[in-house]
Amino acid sequence: MKANKICGILNLSENKEGLQPLTKNRPLAAMPFACRYRLVDFPLSNMTNAGINTIAMFLNENNRSLFDHIRSGKEWDLNTMYGGLFVFDERNADDFSQENYDNSLNFLTKSATEYVVIMGSKMICNIDLKTILQHHKQQEADITVVYKKITAPIEAGDHDDLSVFEMSPAGQILTNTVVGKDERIEAESSLSLEIYLLKQDLLLNLLKNYRETGRDFSLDAVMEQAVEHTNANGFEYTGYMRQIYSVNSYFEGNFDMLEGSNLSALFQENQKIHTKAKNEVPTFYAENSDIKDCLVANGCLLRGTAEHSLIFRNVVLEEGADIKNSMIMQGAKVGAGARLDYVIADKKSVIAPGIELIGTRENPIVVKKDEHMESSRKAEIG
């Protein structure tokens, strides 16, 4: 075991039901974000920026789009002779719980590292894990958990199940309370980002002890118990953070990136977020196009009008098309004269000429992947 060396576990067995139909054929981690990224880019980049070169991904569903995005891990320098990216897909296991447990133990023992960091993809953030390791050693804690102190309350129904901590003045976690999605989270709460750092030996013991209880294996449950029954310490994260758990939170998170302060906080020069590289031509703006307050990726052909919107790679916006407050994902086409307001047009969808799709901020209209929309729609109110 090498002193101070860290391995990573990406726990991507995440609940995605709130994002249907966008997640019908892709895991939460593969959801596109900010025109050219995927959610998995953030934890992967956080880990590799800290020098972590041995990472396990735990998956439990159809992940073709995720594999297509990550491939060999070259963009994150994970295509290496030493370490690399290890994928554990338990979809076809006879005993999912036992398979997951065995894979966890095998990965940890073979990684020959002293520490382990565990993250998912639903909490978007850009965090310096080297600083967390330093904090962890200074505090002499068993486990360090990253939290964010929220400045405004989170209303009931506006979040998924979340954990909040009661902290001592010295930063020790005194209580860990799960707040259900139907409950309000008060301002000044210390919200868990579900990022854990601990020694490998301790995680092995925690896994073994949990398995002996006879309950189905769940890494989330293991860590929740560990925070309650060990000397757990909190590390406060003060940067941009967004939890993705529903269509609306996904929509709002993307639109956060139209605010310069959020964009610069998430995509820091000294903490780059890496993604799959694509060699594409620059976007073409026709003479009569009018694009204002938009985030636009490469490879687009824009002849129409767009305002306060996100336009992903290879989008076609025909002449007379008018989009506002909308996300147009990779390869989608918006026909001539179509009018879109508060719409998410998924990958390779086609909006017929002259169609009107009028959603609301609270209830954006979703055009499914590959869908051809040929009739006008308005969001159902109430």
Residue 380's pLDDT is 67
> Which has the minimum average pLDDT: 33-47, 94-108, 130-144, 286-300?
94-108
Indicate the pLDDT class of residue 4, thresholds 50, 70 and 90. low
Go through the chain and tell me how many residues it has.
Answer: 382
Mean pLDDT of 28-48: 96
Residue 65's pLDDT is 87
Question: The tokens 């086609």 sit on which residue?
Answer: 350
Indicate the pLDDT class of residue 97, thresholds 50, 70 and 90. low
CATH 3.90.550.10 fits 6-268, yes or no: yes
Residue 80's pLDDT is 80
Query: Rounded distance, CA 132 to CA 146, Å?
Result: 8
Nearest of 120, 207, 134, 132 to residue 162 by alpha carbon: 120
Let me know: does 83 contact 54? Beta carbons within 8 Å: yes
Please tell me which residue, 254 or 59, carries the higher pLDDT value.
254
Q: Above 80 in pLDDT, residue 1?
A: no
Please give the share of the chain, as a percent, with pLDDT higher than 70: 95
Query: Where do the CATH 3.90.550.10 domains begin and end in the chain?
Result: 6-268
- Decide which of 1.10.3720.10, 2.160.10.10, 3.60.15.10, 3.40.50.620 is the CATH code for 284-373: 2.160.10.10
Indicate the pLDDT class of residue 109, thresholds 50, 70 and 90. confident
Mean pLDDT of 352-380: 93
> Which has the minimum average pLDDT: 58-67, 231-240, 291-300, 307-316?
58-67
Query: Where do the CATH 2.160.10.10 domains begin and end in the chain?
Result: 284-373
The identity of residue 92, as a single letter, is N
Q: Above 60 in pLDDT, residue 95?
A: no
Residue 235's pLDDT is 97
Q: Above 90 in pLDDT, residue 158?
A: no
The pTM is what?
Answer: 0.93
Q: In Å, what is the CA distance from 372 to each residue of 302, 339, 345, 348?
A: 19, 15, 10, 9
Mean pLDDT of 37-60: 93
Residue 200's pLDDT is 93
Mean pLDDT of 44-71: 89
The DSSP string of 188-231 is T-EEEEEEEEEEHHHHHHHHHHHHHTTPPP-HHHHHHHHHHHS-
Nearest of 70, 64, 50 to residue 276 by alpha carbon: 70
Indicate the pLDDT class of residue 262, thresholds 50, 70 and 90. very high
Q: Above 90 in pLDDT, residue 40?
A: yes
> Which has the minimum average pLDDT: 67-81, 160-174, 230-244, 302-316?
67-81
Chain segment 114-132, per-residue pLDDT in tens:
999 999 999 999 999 999 9
